[in-house]
């Protein structure tokens, strides 16, 4: 690889980076022993590990609180995501733009070495990462984001309406680029498409499925923009051509980084202090009460029981409670320590999500080959399989779970989205993005949320950009119509 290019590219990253406002894993994300030799394989595994560490961290400490999975045990300063107070966000911005240089280096090496599979993988990661960035902030640096080698250290912000078509096109390129052979230089820790795999072609097929599944996720998000981008046509192109555009069809396909538990690839929460992991936050009543009502077996993996009236039970708290409230330590359910070493926590996209996507598409009249009810039930089963629990034989016929085929469109969509919400446990920001898109699940408004606080629809830009890239930031803020958490992104307008 051209290291002059890499060093210059990193310069623009320095312009973009500071420590995040949410809890980070910088000590894990920065590897002092990182090899200097450059092949796509050397870079790939470390990229896969570090980038998913960032996203599940944000799922745990940002999305779970905002989307009422959990709430802090005490919060007397009036702030907090559970009260809809969103501070300017730097964590994902800082980390992702650093990872973008690695993605670009993998892509550059793949071109130089004529390695189409590495090229496809780089395009998948690029599209996945940028989709998260633009859904968080709206307009973001894209076309000039990694142009430090050419002397451009002040990247312009691209409109989201220009970014999304590029993401969709890149996912098409990725899907078309994959060929059924092992990665020459290895390094794949997601699907193990390496020479050590007895069937590397099957692993490459999973990469192809990931690219098309991710595209379907993004297309669903853009349905409001169908007239501009022919979204329905692109959705049908995937649904009607499984041979050339395959998507996830089983739990074996899903994009989950499995932590091997060997140095340095540990589950990044493994050394998180009990105070931060468990004692500082409890699951909410909204999250647990529904799981309790349905007697959902995923509770045993996700939450700890506590004693209430001498009975072991799963107990939650109010989200958005008044500042005068403080819950006692150990009095309600929180995260079990087993999740801190859980191998399957590195979730990017699941088969369950794919089935819920298809359930909604079928509800909207697309031909998915099955009914909304069938996809809905498959999605629930897939989520339970993912988390290693057995779904009770009568689970989908229980009153709180039974799919209401005779209900209105909104009633059916609400059912699909509620189960999709549960299936998004630890998945970056997706449940929040989908709440913004559909309005579901309907979250109760805590009694301690000030009347003027609106449910947030984006994250404000990192404040350090005001000094590092002020002109382009000002242009972006003007284009967006402001820079606060009430400004809708393009696809949400």
Residue 103 has pLDDT above 50, yes or no: yes
- β-partners of residue 282 are 71
> In 295-350, which ranges are continuous DSSP H helix?
299-302
Residue 360 has pLDDT above 80, yes or no: yes
Report helix angle 116-137 to 91-113, nearest 10.
160
How many CA within 13 A on the CB side of residue 354? 26
Q: What is the mean pLDDT of residues 142-163?
A: 87
Structure tokens at 71: 């709430």
Please report where in the chains the tokens 């932590």 appear, as a residue: 259
Structure tokens at 114: 């004529």
Q: Are 169 and 210 in contact (CB under 8 A)?
A: no
78 torsion bin: left (phi>0), alpha (psi -120 to 50), beta (else): left
Residue 20 has pLDDT above 70, yes or no: no
Point out the least confidently predicted range of 35-39, 194-198, 357-361, 420-424: 35-39
Higher pLDDT, 19 or 30: 30
pLDDT of amino acid 37: 54
Which burial class, exposed, middle or buried, applies to 311 when counting CB atoms under 10 A from its CB (0-12, 13-18, 19+)?
exposed
The predicted-structure confidence for 104-137, as pLDDT tens digits, reads as follows 999 999 999 999 999 999 999 999 999 999 999 9
pLDDT of amino acid 427: 98
Which of 443, 452, 432, 463 has the alpha carbon at shortest distance from 61?
A: 432
The predicted-structure confidence for 207-229, as pLDDT tens digits, reads as follows 999 999 999 999 999 999 999 99
pLDDT of amino acid 12: 43
> In 243-302, which ranges are continuous DSSP H helix?
274, 285-294, 299-302
Strand bridging mode 281-283 / 311-313: unpaired
The predicted-structure confidence for 214-267, as pLDDT tens digits, reads as follows 999 999 999 999 999 999 999 999 999 999 999 999 999 999 999 999 999 999
Q: Are 370 and 362 in contact (CB under 8 A)?
A: yes
Please report where in the chains the tokens 């907090």 appear, as a residue: 80
- β-partners of residue 326 are 74
Structure tokens at 353: 């999500």
H/E element, 420: helix 409-423
pLDDT of amino acid 14: 41
Residue 19 has pLDDT above 60, yes or no: no
Q: Going by C-beta distance under 8 Å and a sequence separation of 6 or more, which residues neighbour residue 308?
A: 315
Residue 173 has pLDDT above 60, yes or no: yes
Q: Going by C-beta distance under 8 Å and a sequence separation of 6 or more, which residues neighbour residue 447?
A: 318, 320, 321, 322
Which of 141, 173, 184, 135 has the alpha carbon at shortest distance from 492?
A: 135
DSSP-derived 3-state class of residue 154: coil
Reduced 3-state DSSP string for 58-93: HHHHHHHHHCCCEEECECCCCCCHHHCCCCCCCHHH
Residue 10: pLDDT band with limits 50, 70, 90: very low
- β-partners of residue 347 are 256
Distance CA 219, CA 224 (A): 10
Portion of the chain with pLDDT greater than 90, in percent: 90
Report the mean per-residue pLDDT for the chain: 93
Residue 27 has pLDDT above 70, yes or no: no
Q: Are 121 and 493 in contact (CB under 8 A)?
A: no
Residue 25: pLDDT band with limits 50, 70, 90: very low
Residue 89: pLDDT band with limits 50, 70, 90: confident
Residue 24 has pLDDT above 90, yes or no: no
Residue 148: pLDDT band with limits 50, 70, 90: low
Distance CA 436, CA 364 (A): 18
Portion of the chain with pLDDT greater than 70, in percent: 91
- pTM for this predicted structure: 0.92
Which of 105, 162, 161, 93 has the alpha carbon at shortest distance from 129?
A: 93
Please report where in the chains the tokens 């979730």 appear, as a residue: 347
How many CA within 13 A on the CB side of residue 48? 27
Torsion angle, alpha carbons of 144, 145, 151, 153, to 10: 120
Distance CA 292, CA 302 (A): 12
DSSP-derived 3-state class of residue 433: helix
pLDDT of amino acid 150: 62
Cα distance between the two ends of the chain:
42
Distance CA 146, CA 140 (A): 12
pLDDT of amino acid 146: 83
Residue 158: pLDDT band with limits 50, 70, 90: very high
Please report where in the chains the tokens 């949410």 appear, as a residue: 22
Residue 356 has pLDDT above 60, yes or no: yes
pLDDT of amino acid 153: 77
Residue 149: pLDDT band with limits 50, 70, 90: low
pLDDT of amino acid 13: 46
Which burial class, exposed, middle or buried, applies to 82 when counting CB atoms under 10 A from its CB (0-12, 13-18, 19+)?
buried
b/e per residue 376-408 (b: at least 16 CB within 10 A): bbbbbbbbbbbbebebeeebbeeeebebeeeee
The predicted-structure confidence for 188-200, as pLDDT tens digits, reads as follows 999 999 999 999 9
What are the C-alpha distances in Å from 15 to residues 9, 103, 146, 467, 472? 10, 18, 11, 10, 13
Distance CA 268, CA 25 (A): 7
Distance CA 328, CA 288 (A): 18
pLDDT of amino acid 30: 46
pLDDT of amino acid 8: 40
Q: Are 454 and 486 in contact (CB under 8 A)?
A: yes
Q: How many CB atoms lie within 10 A of CB 19?
A: 12
Higher pLDDT, 447 or 25: 447
Distance CA 88, CA 436 (A): 19
């Amino acid at each position: 690889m051209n290291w002059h290019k890499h060093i210059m590219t990193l310069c623009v990253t320095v312009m973009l980076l500071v420590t995040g406002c949410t809890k980070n894993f910088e000590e894990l994300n920065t590897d002092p022993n990182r090899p200097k030799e450059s092949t796509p394989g050397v870079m790939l595994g470390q990229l896969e590990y570090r980038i998913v560490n960032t996203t599940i961290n944000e799922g745990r400490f940002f999305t779970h609180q905002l989307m009422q999975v959990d709430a802090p045990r005490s919060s007397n300063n009036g702030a907090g995501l559970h009260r809809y107070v969103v501070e300017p966000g730097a964590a994902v911005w800082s980390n992702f733009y650093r990872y973008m240089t690695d993605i670009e280096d993998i892509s550059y090496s793949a071109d130089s070495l004529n390695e189409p599979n590495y090229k496809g993988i780089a395009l998948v990661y690029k599209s996945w990462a940028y989709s998260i960035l633009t859904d968080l902030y709206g307009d973001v640096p894209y076309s000039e984001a990694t142009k430090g080698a050419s002397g451009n250290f002040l990247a312009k912000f691209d409109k989201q309406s220009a970014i999304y078509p590029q993401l969709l096109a890149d996912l098409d390129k990725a899907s078309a680029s994959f060929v059924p052979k092992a990665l020459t230089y290895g390094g794949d820790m997601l699907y193990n498409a390496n020479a050590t795999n007895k069937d590397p072609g099957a692993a490459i097929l999973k990469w192809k499925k990931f690219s098309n599944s991710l595209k379907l996720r993004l297309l669903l998000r853009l349905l409001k923009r169908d007239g501009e981008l022919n979204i329905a046509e692109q959705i049908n192109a995937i649904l009607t051509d499984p041979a050339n555009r395959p998507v996830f069809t089983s739990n074996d396909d899903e994009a989950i980084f499995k932590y091997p538990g060997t140095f340095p690839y540990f589950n990044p929460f493994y050394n998180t202090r009990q105070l931060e992991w468990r004692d500082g936050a409890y699951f909410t009543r909204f999250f647990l009460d529904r799981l309790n009502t349905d007697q959902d077996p995923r509770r045993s993996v996700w939450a700890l029981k506590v004693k209430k009236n001498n009975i072991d039970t799963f107990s939650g708290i109010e989200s958005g409670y008044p500042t005068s409230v403080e819950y006692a330590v150990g009095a309600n359910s929180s995260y079990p320590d087993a999740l801190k070493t859980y191998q399957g926590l590195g979730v990017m996209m699941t088969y369950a999500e794919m089935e819920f996507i298809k359930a909604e598409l079928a509800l909207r009249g697309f031909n998915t080959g099955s009914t909304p009810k069938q996809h809905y039930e498959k999605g629930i089963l897939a989520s339970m399989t993912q988390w290693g629990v057995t779904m009770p034989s009568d689970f989908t016929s229980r009153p709180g779970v039974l799919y209401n085929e005779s209900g209105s469109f909104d009633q059916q969509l609400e059912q699909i989205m509620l189960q999709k919400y549960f299936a998004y446990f630890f998945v970056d920001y997706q449940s929040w993005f989908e709440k913004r898109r559909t309005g579901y699940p309907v979250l109760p408004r805590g009694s301690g949320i000030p009347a003027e606080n609106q449910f947030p629809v984006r994250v404000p830009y990192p404040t350090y950009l005001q000094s590092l890239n002020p002109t382009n930031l000002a242009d972006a803020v003007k284009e967006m119509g402001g820079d606060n958490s009430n400004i809708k992104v393009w696809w949400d307008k």
